[in-house]
């Protein structure tokens, strides 16, 4: 081979390699785009809900309430009759079947919505007010264009009469799309139109908080001890190997462990963020220790020697000099570990967080759901409305993860820049 | 004959092992007070190991075992019960590569006094910082930017900052482990001038690869080879008329 041929071959090899690299990046980006597009196109509509404008008449006789009534009395009062009366006024129904069909257009929580409006303004007795009553899941999906209205009647849940009402409502603009505050405020529900991630958000928040409070101090102190103080011998080698192994243990194993020890033996309340937090902390510990030790190891030994040489004790050299320098790496490692814990599903399913919980937990020992488990739960539901809710929950989860990862990068860069 | 100063540091049958490997063999060496002693020898000959015994810096290395005696002012320091913190307060050290803390110039100097409880008040600390920097001939260059990071200084300035840091706790001995090997000739000259000045107050031990430097700064020179102290004596004598053939070969550049 001549020199020119060899040179050409070398250049070609380089070009080929560049091409392979670019192709891989292109494919990776393509898949990310497909994923993101899929989630966004399905999920973005969940942030809006369909509501029908209804004129509600707080009839004194039907309500049997006097002005100046107390809150407890209102909560106990029966708003069912005025609800039915108000809803039926939306469209003329000829018989009982048609009346039922009309009522079905609204959420089952219509009575509660009417009661809540009254709670806000108790002077409404005997007065009329226009309220936006949430539509049922089917109408919601129909209005968002996700419902196949071209199917023959016997194969759809919405009857021809209901379609007729819907079209009339669209015609006179009494049906609207509003911001879906239920999605953020409410707990889980069997009815997609009023189901929300409120409970899952609070549950995830408590779980991660407990995970952080347990895992961070333990992981940081363990890393400092192992890296700076522990004698280098077979026992510490053994511990190091096992920490690395633990980081690779499938998360479901931690779920089994928690099931046996936390739930069966210690008998902590199941389905609670407390147990979830402890389980996630166990799982996250090695995942924080590893980056934490790496960032301690990255502090140059000359800094330790410098401190020791002016007469600092081992403890002082570590805590005055090494730990502050390792802190950015430690923090970002912790945040990434927490981000992983936030997205963890399998161990939480095993400790019973997969239970159907309607109430929003007020303490970490209340039964609760969590964001990834909520995704799992809704992805199994048949109702059309849960499809968009599943994707919207994934969007929320992803945005939390992105925020946390950015925070990790930001912290690392901010504190490392200071002295360079 | 010129009168020799008092002996400050005395090593007797000092042996050092790194695991299985022996790094120093029966070193007997006396270092005089307020004098500069240079230790020369080829790489890996044990001269750094020797000075790291004087402030017990070898304690940091797990596999390192030291046997024999080192006395400072007649007090044994190679003793498990000795408090290394107060030893290192008396024996400062400057390393091969400048290693200022990634903190401000002021904090670099004030750290030592602070942990030893010297300079209770801010004004006392200010004074210590100023004096240390003046002694290290750095004050004029940095007095207007004491709050800037020490790592932002040039290499030579960083090394003088490290010397100031060593001085700040008012030690009796300063150990220097090839303090100029990472510096350019101008910075080296400055450090050498400084060493000349410092020897009025401190006992200085300097490890160096540069024989010219040993001649310039030291009064006494020890030559190490393969962990053994081959020859020690007045610098003039060692470089002009060594007793040992090996010393002769090394200083004339035949090996090393």
What residue segments make up the domains of chain B, in order of their start?
7-44+56-100+172-248
Cα separation, A334 vs A212, in Å, equals 8
B151/A419 touch (CB, cutoff 8 Å), yes or no:
yes
**Looking at the complex, does the CB of residue A310 fall below 8 Å from at least one CB of chain B?**
yes
- Which contacts of A168-176 are long-range, i.e. CB under 8 A and separated by 24 or more positions? A168/A91, A169/A52, A169/A90, A169/A91, A170/A143, A174/A52, A174/A53, A174/A54, A174/A90, A175/A50, A175/A51, A175/A52, A175/A53, A175/A135, A175/A139, A175/A143, A176/A50, A176/A51, A176/A52, A176/A53, A176/A132
Type and span of the H or E element at A133: strand A128-134
Our CA angle for A378, A382, A384, nearest 5°, is: 85
Q: Which CATH number fits domain B7-44+56-100+172-248: 3.40.1390.20, 3.90.800.10, 3.40.50.300, 3.40.30.10?
A: 3.40.50.300
**Looking at the complex, does the CB of residue A319 fall below 8 Å from at least one CB of chain B?**
no
- Beta bridge partner(s), residue A226: none
Half-sphere exposure of B157 (CA within 13 A, CB side): 15
Per-residue pLDDT at B1: 41
CB A101 within 8 A of CB A93: yes
DSSP state of B137: T
Q: Give me the average pLDDT of each 10-residue run along chain A (420 residues).
A: 90 96 97 95 92 89 77 84 89 89 91 89 85 92 89 88 92 91 92 92 95 96 93 91 93 94 92 94 95 93 92 93 91 92 93 89 91 93 90 94 91 70
Per-residue pLDDT at A420: 43
Q: How far away is chain A from the Cα of B64, in angstroms, using its nearest Cα?
A: 13
Express each pLDDT in A316-373 by its tens digit. Answer: 999 999 999 999 999 999 999 999 999 999 999 999 888 888 889 999 999 999 999 9
β-bridge pairing B228-234 and B220-225: antiparallel
**Looking at the complex, does the CB of residue A308 fall below 8 Å from at least one CB of chain B?**
yes
A420/B151 touch (CB, cutoff 8 Å), yes or no:
yes
- Beta bridge partner(s), residue A128: A57
Average pLDDT (B31-53) is: 92
Residue recorded with tokens 């919601």: A140
Give the best residue of B59, B111, B161 to mutate against chain A (max A CB count within 10 A). Answer: B111
A310/B92 touch (CB, cutoff 8 Å), yes or no:
yes
Type and span of the H or E element at B7: strand B7-18
Measure CA A136 to chain center: 24
Give the best residue of A310, A415, A416, A417 to mutate against chain B (max B CB count within 10 A). Answer: A310
CB-count exposure of residue A293 (10 Å: 0-12, 13-18, 19+):
buried
Quick one: pLDDT band at residue B4, thresholds 50, 70, 90?
low
Smallest Cβ–Cβ distance between A310 and the set B86, B103, B169 belongs to B169
ipTM confidence: 0.90
Q: State the sign of the Cα–Cα–Cα–Cα dihedral A279, A282, A287, A292.
A: positive
CB B149 within 8 A of CB A419: yes
Residue recorded with tokens 């511990």: A239
CB B16 within 8 A of CB B22: yes
Per-residue pLDDT at A66: 76
Buried/exposed code over A328-352 (b: 16+ C-beta within 10 A; e: otherwise): bbbbbbbbbbbbbbbbbbbbbbbbb
Nearest to A214 by CA among A365, A334, A350, A327: A334
Backbone φ and ψ for A216, nearest 5 degrees, come out as -60, -55
Tokens at B117, concatenated: 């409880």
Task: Determine what percent of chain A is predicted with pLDDT higher than 90.
Answer: 68
Q: Is the pLDDT of residue B77 over 70?
A: yes
Residue recorded with tokens 């019973």: A352
Nearest to A63 by CA among A46, A76, A50, A44: A76
Contacts of A302 in chain B (CB under 8 A): 95, 97, 99
Express each pLDDT in B181-218 by its tens digit. Answer: 888 898 899 899 999 999 999 999 999 998 899 999 99
Q: What is the spatial order of strands in the sheet that B220-225 belongs to? A: B91-94, B173-177, B203-207, B36-40, B220-225, B228-234
Buried/exposed code over B152-175 (b: 16+ C-beta within 10 A; e: otherwise): ebeebbbbbbbbbbbbbbbbbbbb
């Amino acid at each position: 081979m001549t020199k020119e041929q060899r040179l050409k071959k070398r250049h070609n090899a380089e070009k080929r390699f560049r091409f392979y690299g670019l192709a891989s990046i292109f494919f990776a980006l393509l898949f990310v785009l497909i994923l993101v597009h899929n989630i966004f196109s399905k999920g973005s509509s969940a942030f809006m809900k369909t509501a029908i404008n209804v004129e509600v008449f707080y009839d004194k006789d039907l309500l049997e309430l006097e002005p100046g009534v107390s809150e407890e009395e209102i909560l106990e009062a029966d708003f069912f009759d005025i609800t039915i009366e108000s809803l039926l006024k939306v469209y003329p129904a000829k018989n009982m079947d048609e009346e039922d069909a009309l009522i079905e257009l609204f959420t089952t929580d219509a009575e509660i919505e009417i009661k809540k409006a009254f709670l806000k303004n108790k002077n409404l007795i005997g007065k009329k007010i226009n309220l936006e009553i949430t539509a049922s899941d089917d109408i919601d999906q129909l209005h968002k264009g996700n419902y196949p209205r071209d199917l023959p009647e016997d194969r759809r849940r919405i009857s021809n009469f209901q379609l007729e009402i819907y079209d009339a409502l669209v015609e006179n603009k009494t049906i609207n799309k509003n911001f879906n505050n239920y999605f953020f405020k409410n707990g889980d529900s069997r009815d997609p139109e009023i189901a929300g991630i409120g409970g899952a958000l609070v549950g995830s928040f408590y779980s991660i908080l407990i995970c952080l409070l347990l895992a961070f101090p333990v992981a940081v102190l363990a890393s400092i001890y192992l890296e700076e103080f522990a004698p280098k011998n077979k026992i510490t080698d053994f511990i190091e190997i096992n920490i690395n192994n633990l980081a690779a243990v499938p998360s479901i194993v931690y779920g089994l462990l928690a099931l046996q020890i936390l739930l069966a033996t210690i008998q902590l309340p199941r389905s609670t963020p407390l147990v979830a937090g402890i389980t996630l902390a166990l799982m996250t510990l090695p995942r924080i220790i590893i980056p934490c030790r790496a960032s301690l190891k990255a502090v140059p030994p000359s800094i330790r020697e410098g401190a020791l040489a002016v007469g600092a004790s081992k403890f002082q050299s570590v805590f005055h000099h090494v730990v502050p320098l390792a802190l950015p790496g430690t923090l970002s490692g912790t945040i990434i570990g927490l981000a992983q814990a936030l997205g963890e599903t399998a161990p939480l399913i095993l400790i019973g967080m997969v239970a159907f919980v309607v109430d929003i937990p007020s303490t970490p020992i209340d039964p609760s759901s969590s964001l990834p488990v909520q995704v799992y739960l809704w992805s199994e539901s048949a109702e059309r409305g849960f499809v968009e809710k599943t994707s919207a929950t994934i969007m929320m989860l992803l945005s939390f993860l992105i925020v946390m990862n950015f925070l990790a990068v930001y912290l690392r860069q901010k504190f490392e820049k200071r002295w360079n | 004959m010129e009168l020799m100063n008092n002996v400050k540091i005395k090593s007797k049958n000092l042996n050092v092992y790194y695991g299985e490997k022996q790094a120093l063999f029966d070193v007997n060496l006396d270092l005089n007070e307020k004098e500069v002693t240079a230790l020369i020898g080829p790489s890996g000959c044990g001269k750094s190991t020797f000075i790291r015994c004087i402030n017990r810096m070898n304690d940091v290395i797990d596999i390192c075992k030291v046997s024999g005696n080192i006395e400072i002012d007649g007090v044994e320091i190679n003793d498990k019960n000795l408090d290394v913190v107060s030893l290192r307060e008396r024996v400062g050290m400057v390393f091969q590569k400048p290693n200022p803390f990634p903190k401000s110039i002021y904090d670099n100097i004030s750290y030592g006094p602070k942990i030893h409880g010297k300079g209770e008040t801010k004004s006392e600390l200010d004074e210590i910082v100023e004096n240390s920097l003046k002694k290290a001939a750095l004050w004029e260059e940095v007095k207007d930017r004491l709050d800037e990071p020490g790592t932002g200084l040039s290499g030579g300035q960083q090394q003088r900052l490290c010397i100031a840091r060593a001085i700040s706790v008012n030690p009796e001995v300063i150990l220097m482990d090839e303090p100029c090997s990472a510096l350019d000739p101008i910075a080296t000259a400055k450090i050498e001038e400084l060493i000349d000045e410092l020897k009025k107050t401190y006992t200085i031990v300097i490890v160096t690869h540069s024989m010219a430097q040993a001649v310039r700064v030291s009064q006494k020179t020890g030559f190490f080879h393969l962990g053994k102290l081959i020859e020690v004596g007045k610098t003039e004598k060692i470089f002009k008329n060594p007793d040992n053939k090996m010393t002769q070969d090394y200083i004339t550049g035949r090996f090393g």
